[in-house]
Amino acid sequence: MSEILSSWNEFSQALASCATEADVFNLKASYLGKEGTLNKILKDLKNLDPEDRARLGQEANGLKQRITEALDQRLDEIERLKVDTLLKEDRIDVTYRASMRDLGLNEAAYHPLTRIERDVEDLFFSMGFDILDGTYIEDDYHNFSALNIPPEHPARDTQDTFWFKDGVHCLRTQTSPVQIRGMEQYKPPFKFVSLGKVFRNENIDASHEMAFHQIEAMVVDKDISVGHMMHFLESLISKTLRSDVTVRLRTGYFPFVEPGFELDIQCQICHGEGCTVCKDLGWVEFCGCGLVHPKVLKEGGIDSTEWSGFAFGIGWDRLAMMRYGISDIRQMHGADLRFIKQFKSY
Ligand code: DAH
């Protein structure tokens, strides 16, 4: 067998066992590289007589061409194989019916806050409220000044604010700025509700978190009274908690309402006995509320001699804690599935 033929046979066998592109390139180097088989054959040509040299030279060039083509072909094959495997692995069975649980759509997978959010949105939607979103980053005007909390007002101190370096923007400390944003957007009469996260530099304990949640509602119409406000709050309490929850209303100071109130509910963890959540008081603040201050209406471009309104802000986490008997607010952001899975039967 000529040297050329045996080289080709050897090469073909080696090529057939090349599984990866790297194998092919290594084989290429050992045949066509500087120290490769083909160069060795060509180097040996000089020892042959001119006739054999010409013939073998031609055969060697033919071999080089065949090797080059075979290598390219093998590379193509390997590429195609790779694509085929990828396609097979990636194939999506569009007829596959995923279980609700896999998708996280199973009722059992809902976070307590989400469950309350749906109830609250359902209730308010059925009462004709719009549902508004606010922004986490607010400015001084919307978070404070427009809500009748000017600079130097002591009410600012009660809300340990995370300020940005510009001294103008902050992480909103309450959902009340949505009242201002709503008034910028609507002409009276209107009613809307907004649910979202708020931030305060709090000392963290069983009932305080740095990031927590509030529900804000605002109604502006003609001749609005505290009676209207109480009707809404009672509906909300009976929808989200049991209706036999004992509540108490006491006067409270919030600069953006006049008169202002705080509505407390009997602690549902200890049923009034006293615990860490209610700080042994037996009562938990459910919401701040009141009739919208004329200055706030004016800031929203609304004539307070013609229109009046009420607003309330609810601690959404506390509401969830009371509804589900959760004794530590830190669980809300704990990202612990064992915690969420406990709410299967609710
Ligand atoms: N924004 C108040 C807070 O975070 C709660 C509040 C009180 C909201 C009275 C209201 C209200 O809308 O009328 O403490």
| Cα-trace Rg, the chain | 38
**pLDDT value at position 103?**
56
Q: How far apart are CA 197 and CA 195, in angstroms?
A: 7
**pLDDT value at position 98?**
67
The rounded Å distance from CA 155 to ligand 1 centre is 12
Written as tens digits, the pLDDT of the chain (346 aa) is 578 888 899 999 999 999 999 999 999 999 999 888 988 888 888 888 888 888 888 998 999 999 999 999 999 999 999 888 888 888 787 787 766 555 555 555 688 998 889 989 999 999 999 999 999 999 999 999 999 999 888 888 778 999 999 999 999 999 999 999 999 999 999 999 999 999 999 889 988 899 999 999 999 999 999 999 999 998 888 888 876 888 999 999 999 999 999 999 998 889 899 998 888 999 988 999 999 999 999 999 999 999 999 999 999 998 999 888 898 999 998 888 888 877 765 4
Cis peptide before 189 (omega within 30 of 0): yes
The rounded Å distance from CA 280 to ligand 1 centre is 23
Ligand 1 is surrounded, with C-beta below 6 A, by 174, 176, 216, 254, 257, 288-290, 311-313
Q: How far apart are CA 220 and CA 222, in angstroms?
A: 7
Picking from 218, 213, 227, the residue whose alpha carbon sits closest to that of residue 129 is: 218
Nearest CA to ligand 1 atom 3: 174
Distances in whole angstroms, Cα of residue 104 to Cα of each of 101, 107, 121:
5, 8, 21
**pLDDT value at position 41?**
87
**pLDDT value at position 153?**
87
Distances in whole angstroms, Cα of residue 9 to Cα of each of 33, 40, 63, 302:
18, 17, 11, 93
Nearest CA to ligand 1 atom 12: 312
Nearest CA to ligand 1 atom 13: 289
* Strand 283-292 to 247-251 pairing: unpaired
Q: How far apart are CA 267 and CA 226, in angstroms?
A: 24
**pLDDT value at position 346?**
47
Using the structure block, give the residue that is written with the tokens 């704990």. 334
Confidence (pTM): 0.69
The DSSP 8-state label assigned to residue 313 in this structure reads E
The DSSP 8-state label assigned to residue 205 in this structure reads B
Q: Which atom of ligand 1 is nearest the CA belonging to 198?
A: 4
Element (H, E) at 12: helix 3-16
Q: In this structure, what token pair is assigned to residue 68? A: 């080059």
Task: Evaluate whether 277 touches 309 at the Cβ level (below 8 Å).
Answer: no
**pLDDT value at position 31?**
93
Q: In this structure, what token pair is assigned to residue 206? A: 């069983």
Q: In this structure, what token pair is assigned to residue 323? A: 């509804």
- The count of other CB atoms within 10 Å of the CB of residue 232 is 20
Picking from 265, 307, 256, the residue whose alpha carbon sits closest to that of residue 287 is: 265
Q: Which atom of ligand 1 is nearest the CA belonging to 174?
A: 4
The rounded Å distance from CA 288 to ligand 1 centre is 5
**pLDDT value at position 129?**
95
Picking from 206, 225, 322, the residue whose alpha carbon sits closest to that of residue 264 is: 322
Task: Evaluate whether 174 touches 212 at the Cβ level (below 8 Å).
Answer: no
**pLDDT value at position 106?**
54
Q: Which atom of ligand 1 is nearest the CA belonging to 214?
A: 4
Q: How far apart are CA 27 and CA 24, in angstroms?
A: 5
The rounded Å distance from CA 118 to ligand 1 centre is 21
